[in-house]
């Protein structure tokens, strides 16, 4: 266990199998054995009230219901599309979950292989069959702009506390952005190259403190 | 050939001394997780991919992930060129390593998926299966795969009637017994135990205790390697 200090803030990095405490309720990244809680992934320990969880520092995207993500179409069926969502499991997008009136067999007229879509996870069952929907505000097919991919574990830092980081980047680059929980980011208009550089900087310095301020200074200097 | 002289082993180590070990995490960019281990004359590179969808579909398990490992020795890893491709020995090591890792990974969190572990022996010098397991478990943690614990491994053996730790090449070839052990360091649960040669019951118990203590030392080095990567010091 290593504790990183910066002023009075603490960040504790834990490894799989490391003891976290007793009589704590296990959150994500934690498992219990009797009353003892242990970390199951490499990450940052955080305790809130009586609940302990470990925020992973690496790893694949595992779909969760209500996540907004960016997918690409990999297969077209008569009444559904198969969407790659940058996770071990592809997702199913049914024609009734699309914003259009699609006739049976006409799916390819609306979305074809290689198209990118903003979707929301609507269901994940116990064998991890994933269903996504486009029936929500802001969900659509992506036309124009550019996509970039970063490790999904870095996404919370790109968004920042209460969306502080993302709104900072949007404000100073005048970019339109959409950050998917699966590690894919869509950018369009404004100063895209600066926004990309800022996100790459966040990805590289994700473990440091005061990142929002550092990025603010970086963007001012541009 | 005299393997023990004046209470010292052929390479000058004492009976309970490990060879010098260097572990580095996250050495490969394209893999999800990786590790490089130098253990005496052994040099092993381990890479982890996944969890990813198992292909072909019929090998998928709807209740848990498959852990598939490949142990491979490079043609130049031994003094006589090693013929390429899987042989009886490497198929066996691949199997026992995947069974040991299967026990520590939370496979039930990833139904229908596989977690692939590739271990390449670049240079072999006795004890490669322990080196590979050590490297593989660091690579798995680096890949962010949920695990109950680490896997730490070390070999013990009998040379000239003495129980010694971490056999070298000559000791392995000319010694009387070789006993690789892998454990979960937190619980002390044994994940792998093989024996080649003969030991009495007392010798066996002594060897297991010696091996488990050494595994704890390996565990500390594994933790250190990961901390070095993730805290940058």
Q: pLDDT, tens digit, for every residue of A69-84? A: 999 999 999 999 999 9
Strand partners, A55: A44
Omega within 30 of 0 (cis) for the link into B172: no
Instruction: Report yes or no: A171 at the B interface, CB cutoff 8 Å.
Output: no
Considering only the beta carbons, identify the residue of B53, B112, B226 that sits closest to A127: B112
B226 vs A: CB within 8 A = yes
Q: What is the mean pLDDT of residues A197-221?
A: 87
CB contact under 8 A, B226 and A42: yes
CA distance A53 to chain B (A): 13
Instruction: Identify whether A134 is preceded by a cis peptide bond (ω within 30 of 0).
Output: no
- Which of A64, A62, A101, A61 is closest to A79 using CA atoms? A101
Residue B153 near residue B134 (C-beta atoms within 8 A) = yes
Domains, in order of start, for chain A: 2-56 (2.40.50.100), 68-133 (2.40.50.140), 146-221 (3.30.1370.10)
Q: In what order do the strands lie in the sheet with A36-39?
A: A19-22, A36-39, A30-33
Give residue A12's pLDDT. Answer: 85
A190 touches chain B (CB under 8 A): no
Q: Over chain B, what is the mean pLDDT?
A: 94
Please tell me the predicted confidence (pLDDT) of residue B196: 93
What is the number of other CB atoms lying within 10 angstroms of the CB of residue B204? Answer: 17
Mapped onto helix, strand or coil, the DSSP state of residue A79 is coil
Minimal C-alpha gap between A32 and chain B (Å)? 10
> Which residues of chain A from 132 to 161 reach within 8 Å of chain B, CB to CB?
153
Query: pLDDT category, B230, cuts 50, 70, 90?
Result: confident
**Residues of chain A contacting B148 with CB distance shorter than 8 Å:** 16-17, 31, 38, 40
* Cβ of residue A57 closer than 8 Å to a chain B Cβ: yes
Measured CA to CA, the distance from residue A183 to residue A200 in angstroms comes to 12
Q: How far is CA A79 from the centre of its chain?
A: 28
Query: Is A153 in contact with B144 (Cβ distance < 8 A)?
Result: yes
3-class SS at A96?
helix
Q: Is B76 on the interface with A (CB under 8 A)?
A: no
Closest to A13 measured CA to CA, from B153, B25, B39, B56: B25
Ranges of H-type helices in chain B: 88-104, 128-142, 169-174, 201-231
Contact check, Cβ <8 Å, B144/A58: yes
A5 has pLDDT over 80: no
| Residue B139 reports pLDDT greater than 60 | yes
CB contact under 8 A, B145 and A59: yes
Measured between CA atoms, how close is A16 to chain B, in angstroms? 5
CA distances from B10 to A111, B4, B168, B214 (A): 70, 6, 9, 20
pLDDT of A8: 44
Binary contact (B51, A16; C-beta < 8 A): no
B142 touches chain A (CB under 8 A): yes
How big is the A-B interface in CB pairs under 8 Å? Answer: 88
Helix/strand number for chain B, H first, E second = 4, 12
Report the candidate in A167, A183, A102, A94 with the shortest Cα–Cα distance to residue A132. A94
Within 10 Å of residue B2's Cβ, how many Cβ atoms?
Answer: 6
The pLDDT assigned to B231 comes to: 79
Q: Count CB atoms within 10 A of the CB of residue B162.
A: 15
- Would you say A90 and A106 are in contact if contact means Cβ atoms under 8 Å apart? no
Other CB atoms within 10 Å distance of the CB of residue A18: 20
Does residue A40 contact residue B106 with C-beta atoms inside 8 Å? yes
A176 Cβ under 8 Å from any chain B Cβ: no
Residues of A in contact with B139 (CB under 8 A): none
The 10s digit of each residue's pLDDT in A6-35 is: 444 557 889 999 999 999 999 999 999 999
Cβ A59–B147 below 8 Å, yes or no? no
In eight-state DSSP terms, residue B110 is: S
The shortest C-alpha distance from B46 to chain A (Å) reads 17
Q: Is the Cβ pair A41, B146 closer than 8 Å? A: yes
Interface pTM (ipTM) of the complex? 0.89
**Rounded-to-integer distance, Cα B179 and Cα B126, Å:** 12
| Strand, helix or coil for residue A193 | helix
In this prediction, residues B34-62 reach a mean pLDDT of 95
CA B50, CA B55: separation in Å to the nearest integer?
Answer: 12
Mean pLDDT of B140-148: 96
Q: B110 to chain A, minimum CA–CA distance in Å?
A: 8
Tell me: the pLDDT tens digits for A143-202?
999 999 999 999 988 998 888 999 999 999 999 999 999 999 999 988 999 999 999 999
- For residues B138 and B134, give the distance between their C-alpha atoms in angstroms, rounded to a whole number: 7
B52 vs A: CB within 8 A: yes
Length, in residues, of chain A: 222
- Beta-ladder partners of B33: B48
Query: Smallest CA–CA separation between B117 and chain A, in Å?
Result: 15
pLDDT of B67 > 50? The answer is yes
Q: Determine, for residues B148 and A13 on separate chains, whether the beta-carbon distance falls below 8 Å.
A: no
Disruptive mutation site among A29, A36, A37, A58 for chain B (greatest number of B CBs within 10 Å): A58
Handedness of CA B177, B15, B132, B188 (dihedral sign): positive
* pLDDT at site A7: 47
Statement: residue B6 has pLDDT above 90? no
Residues counted in chain B = 233
- How far apart CA A17 and CA B216 sit, in angstroms, is 14
For B105-116, the pLDDT digits (tens) are 999 999 999 999
B187: left (phi over 0), alpha (psi -120 to 50) or beta: alpha
CA distance B44 to chain A (A): 22
* Model confidence at B199: pLDDT above 80: yes
Judge whether A186 is closer than 8 Å to chain B, CB to CB.
no
């Amino acid at each position: 266990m290593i504790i990183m200090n910066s002023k009075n803030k603490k960040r504790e990095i834990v490894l799989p199998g490391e003891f976290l405490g007793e009589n704590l309720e296990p959150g994500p990244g934690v498992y219990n054995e009797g009353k003892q809680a242990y970390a199951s992934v490499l990450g940052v320990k955080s305790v809130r009230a009586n609940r302990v969880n470990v925020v992973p520092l690496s790893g694949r995207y595992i779909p969760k219901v209500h996540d907004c993500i960016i997918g690409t179409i990999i297969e077209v069926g008569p009444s559904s599309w198969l969407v790659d969502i940058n996770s071990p499991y592809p997702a199913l997008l049914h024609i009734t979950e699309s914003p259009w009136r699609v006739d049976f067999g006409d799916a390819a007229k609306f979305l074809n292989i290689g198209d990118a879509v903003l979707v929301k996870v609507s269901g994940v069952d116990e064998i991890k069959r994933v269903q996504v929907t486009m029936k929500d505000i802001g969900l659509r097919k992506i036309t124009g702009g550019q996509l970039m991919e970063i490790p999904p574990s870095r996404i919370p830092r790109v968004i920042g506390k209460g969306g502080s980081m993302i709104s900072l980047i949007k404000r100073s680059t005048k970019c339109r952005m959409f950050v998917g929980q699966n590690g894919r980011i869509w950018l369009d208009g404004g100063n895209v190259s600066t926004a990309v550089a800022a996100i790459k900087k966040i990805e590289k310095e994700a473990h440091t403190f005061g990142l929002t301020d550092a990025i603010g200074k970086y963007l001012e200097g541009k | 050939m005299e393997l023990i002289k004046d209470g010292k082993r052929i390479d000058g180590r004492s009976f309970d001394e490990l060879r010098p070990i260097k572990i580095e995490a996250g050495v490969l960019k394209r893999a999800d997780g990786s590790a490089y281990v130098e253990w005496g004359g052994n040099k092993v590179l381990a890479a982890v991919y996944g969890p990813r969808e198992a292909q072909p579909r019929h090998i998928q398990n709807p209740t848990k992930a498959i852990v598939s490992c490949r142990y491979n020795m490079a043609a130049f890893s031994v003094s006589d060129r090693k013929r390429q491709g899987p042989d009886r020995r490497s198929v066996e090591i691949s199997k026992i390593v995947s069974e040991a890792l299967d026990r520590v990974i939370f496979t039930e969190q990833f139904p229908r998926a596989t977690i692939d572990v590739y271990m390449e022996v670049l240079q072999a010098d006795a004890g490669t299966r322990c080196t590979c397991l050590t490297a593989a478990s660091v690579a798995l943690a680096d890949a962010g795969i949920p695990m109950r614990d680490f896997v730490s491994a070390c070999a013990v053996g009998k040379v000239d009637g003495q129980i010694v730790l971490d056999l070298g090449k000559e000791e392995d070839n000319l010694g009387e017994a070789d006993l690789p052990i892998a454990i979960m360091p937190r619980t002390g649960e044994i994940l792998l135990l093989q024996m080649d040669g003969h030991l009495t019951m007392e010798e066996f118990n002594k060897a297991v205790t010696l091996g488990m203590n050494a595994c704890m030392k390996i565990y500390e080095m594994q933790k250190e390697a990961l901390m070095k990567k993730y805290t940058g010091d």
